[in-house]
């Protein structure tokens, strides 16, 4: 078989990041590395816009062409629809969006929000799910044009606080767009993979274990997630979200500043701009903001901003920092508070004590991973360095590409990573605890040794509260068994208190006369199905499955 034929048989899997303002697509290159790809317009970031035209034959657009319609056709251009997925019209988030949207937002017959647009002379209602489906069609088309092959599947990222309704509507939109969803991952986990998590998954040494904070300053809000990485397993320790700070909030500050500047120069008030002029100013503000991440000053120019008068001015970084000081101070406070909530002290970042996941780890390392287009703004980085050690702040991955690349890396793990490389061995813990809020899917394992005289091993799996410290204690004479009293007053040494037995396994016919290692693997899939597998070093295996409860 030729190399070309083999390449054609390779699954064409995408990693997709769906942002409020921009979306990104990542694929795996020939070496298996995740890389973001450009769309048909040569941009690696595709605007999360959908637009409709009232009369023209080409009546709908998504992506870059749709954003161009925001100035000429604002009433029929839908933006910032991602965070409305799975919400009712009465939701405060929807109410806030209705006040900001140029396209009219109304309550649909099913109680969901819907945009009212004109298309080919008719009035249409377009739900956020509908808009997402059209955006996904555009992203899939861009990927197929780039790779020259049909897309066979995709790993999608969702916000850390995404509800079940959000996930359901996203899955529905993907089906309508012809995108097969292989897995849905949280944005913080995807970002962690992009910053090198795949290497840590393959590492079984304790040195790969660490705590990380994913700081995501996007258009619609600010998100912080503190994750524990243990043997390649990502567990959320604490998270926070604030929609009062973000790229849109920064843009609003700049819009007000430039409106005041225009009034000062021209003695004309532009506080109430028409939709077309407002869109032009906001587009110019976005360019100015991006320029200031790399330059000491940036120009802002808008033709015919108000009353036919052109507007042109400059903004230096010092003035920008003054205008946005409260935003970035709040961001730093949120990161610090979230780290403390997770049991980490920012001032002791090199020697952070944690017993939340793995009691045998006395210290761990906290890294700050910067994600989201606005996280590259120098003022945010300087604020974080005032709290955390500068060497622990990482922005070595493109902040607006990290999530998409992490999704693509997850696709690679799904395809090629052996199960054995996903184990977590902790000699101090007989069985790992999976917390209620542990992200799914998840896999963990524990390894122990049987004694030479044992020919069988009994394994019990329980669901419920972990034992209190007093349940397992060491006396001068050795380890004291955990004991629970039955109703008849007799002692039952086998049943831990406050827990329900969900599975039992017996691994028998083990060789007598020598010690043997036993590995117990706990695998919970995305739907909550638990599979427990016990296997010995001589090849004996036994498994049990437990449905989602």
Q: What's the burial of 100, exposed, middle or buried (CB within 10 Å: 0-12/13-18/19+)?
A: exposed
pLDDT per residue, tens digit, the chain (549 aa), is 444 444 455 778 899 999 999 999 999 887 778 899 999 999 999 999 999 987 665 568 899 999 999 988 999 999 999 999 999 999 999 999 998 899 999 999 999 999 999 988 789 999 999 999 999 999 999 999 999 999 989 999 999 889 989 999 999 999 999 999 988 889 998 998 898 744 333 333 334 567 889 999 999 999 999 887 765 667 788 899 999 999 999 999 999 999 999 989 888 777 677 888 888 999 999 999 999 999 999 999 999 998 889 999 999 999 999 999 999 999 999 998 998 888 876 654 332 222 233 332 223 447 899 999 999 999 999 999 888 865 578 888 999 999 999 999 887 666 443 332 222 222 233 455 566 656 566 777 777 776 666 667 767 777 766 555 444 433 333 433 333 444 444 444 444 445 676 777 777 766 777 777 788 888 887 677 888 888 887 777 877 777 765
Number of domains the chain contains? 3
Which DSSP symbol is given to 223? Answer: E
- Are both 158 and 110 inside the same structural domain? yes
Does residue 524 sit within a domain?
Answer: yes
The CATH number for 433's domain is: 2.60.34.10
Same domain, 69 and 172: yes
Q: How far is it, in rounded angstroms, from Cα 89 to Cα 105?
A: 9
Do 227 and 376 fall within a single domain? yes
Instruction: Based on the fold, state whether residues 440 and 354 are members of the same structural domain.
Output: no
Is 201 a domain residue? no
**Pure H helices in 218-323:** 247-266, 275-291, 317-323
Instruction: Give the residue among 350, 312, 16, 316 at the shortest CA–CA distance from 151.
Output: 16
> Are 442 and 524 a contacting pair, CB within 8 Å?
yes
Indicate if 45 and 129 belong to the same structural domain.
Answer: yes
Q: Looking at the structure, do residues 393 and 503 belong to the same domain, yes or no?
A: no
Q: Is 421 exposed, middle or buried (0-12, 13-18, 19+ CB in 10 A)?
A: middle
Residues 88 and 153 in one domain: yes
Q: Judge whether 299 lies within some domain.
A: no
406: in domain: no
Q: Is residue 358 part of a domain?
A: yes
Angle value at C-alpha 28, between 26 and 32, nearest 5 degrees: 145
Q: CA-CA distance, 22 to 20, in Å (whole number)? A: 6
pLDDT in tens, 213-262: 999 999 999 999 988 776 566 778 889 999 999 999 999 999 999 999 99
**Domain span at 489:** 423-546
134 assigned to some structural domain: yes
Do the domain assignments include residue 333?
Answer: yes
Nearest alpha-carbon partner for 170 in 17, 25, 21, 28: 17
Tell me: do 166 and 229 sit in the same domain: no
In a domain, 136, yes or no: yes
Are 236 and 381 part of one and the same domain?
yes
Q: Based on the domain organization, do 221 and 152 belong to the same domain?
A: no
Structure tokens belonging to residue 386: 């005032």
What's the pTM?
A: 0.72
> What are the structure tokens assigned to 532, written together?
């427990």
- For residue 119, list its beta bridge partners: 122
Distance between CA atoms of residues 110 and 101, nearest Å: 21
Burial annotation 379-401 (CB, 10 A radius, 16+ → b, else e): bbbebbeebbbeebbebebbbbb
CATH number (domain holding residue 159): 3.30.420.40
* Domain match, 51 and 171 both: yes
283-296 burial, b at 16+ Cβ within 10 Å, e below that, comes to bbbbebbeebbeee
Residues 17 and 117 in one domain: yes
């Amino acid at each position: 078989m030729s190399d070309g034929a083999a390449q054609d048989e390779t699954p064409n899997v995408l990693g997709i990041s769906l942002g409020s303002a921009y979306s990104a697509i990542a694929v795996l290159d020939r070496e298996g590395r995740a890389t973001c790809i450009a769309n048909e317009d040569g941009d690696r970031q595709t605007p999360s816009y959908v637009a409709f035209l009232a009369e023209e034959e080409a009546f709908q657009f998504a992506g870059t062409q749709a954003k161009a319609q925001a100035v000429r056709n604002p009433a029929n251009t839908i933006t910032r629809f991602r965070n409305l997925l799975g919400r009712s019209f009465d939701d405060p988030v929807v109410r806030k969006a209705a006040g900001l949207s140029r396209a009219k937002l109304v309550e649909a017959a099913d109680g969901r929000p819907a945009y009212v647009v004109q298309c080919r002379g008719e009035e249409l209602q377009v739900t956020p799910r509908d808009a997402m489906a059209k955006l996904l069609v555009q992203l899939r088309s861009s990927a197929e044009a780039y790779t020259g092959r049909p897309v066979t599947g995709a790993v999608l990222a969702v916000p850390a606080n995404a509800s079940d309704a959000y996930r359901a509507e996203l899955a529905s939109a993907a089906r309508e767009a012809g995108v097969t969803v292989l897995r849905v991952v949280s944005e913080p986990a995807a970002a962690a993979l992009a910053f090198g998590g795949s290497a840590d998954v393959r590492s079984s040494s304790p040195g790969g274990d660490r705590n990380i904070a994913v700081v995501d300053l996007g258009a619609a809000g600010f998100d912080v997630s503190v994750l524990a990485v243990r043997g390649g397993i990502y567990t959320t320790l604490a998270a926070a979200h604030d929609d009062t700070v973000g790229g849109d909030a920064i843009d609003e500050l700049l819009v007000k500043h430039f409106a005041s500047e225009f009034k000062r120069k021209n003695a004309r008030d532009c506080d109430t701009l028409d939709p077309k002029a407002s869109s032009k100013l906001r587009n110019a503000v976005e360019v100015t903001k991006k320029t200031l991440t790399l330059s000491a000053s940036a120009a802002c120019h808008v033709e015919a901003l108000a009353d036919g008068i052109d507007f042109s001015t400059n903004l230096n970084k010092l003035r920008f920092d003054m205008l946005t000081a409260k935003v970035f101070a709040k961001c730093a406070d949120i990161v610090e508070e979230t780290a403390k909530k997770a049991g980490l002290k920012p001032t002791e970042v090199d020697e952070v004590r944690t017993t939340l996941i793995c009691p045998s780890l006395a210290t761990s390392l906290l890294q700050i991973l910067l994600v989201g287009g606005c996280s590259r703004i120098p003022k945010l980085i300087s604020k974080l360095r005032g709290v955390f050690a500068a060497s622990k702040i990482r922005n070595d991955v493109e902040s607006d590409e990290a999530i998409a690349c992490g999704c693509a890396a997850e696709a690679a793990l799904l395809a090629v990573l052996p199960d054995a490389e996903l184990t977590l061995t902790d000699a101090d813990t007989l069985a790992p605890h999976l917390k209620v809020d542990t992200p799914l899917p998840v896999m963990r394992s524990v390894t122990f040794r049987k004694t030479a005289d044992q020919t069988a091993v009994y394994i019990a799996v329980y669901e419920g509260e972990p034992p209190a410290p007093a349940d397992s204690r060491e006396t001068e004479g050795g380890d004291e068994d955990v004991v629970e009293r039955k109703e008849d007053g007799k002692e039952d040494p086998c049943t831990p208190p406050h827990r329900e037995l969900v599975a039992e396994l017996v691994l028998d016919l083990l060789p007598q006369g020598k010690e043997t290692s036993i590995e117990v693997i706990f695998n919970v899939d995305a739907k909550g199905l638990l599979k427990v597998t016990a296997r010995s070093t001589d090849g004996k295996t036994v498994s049990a499955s437990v449905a989602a409860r």
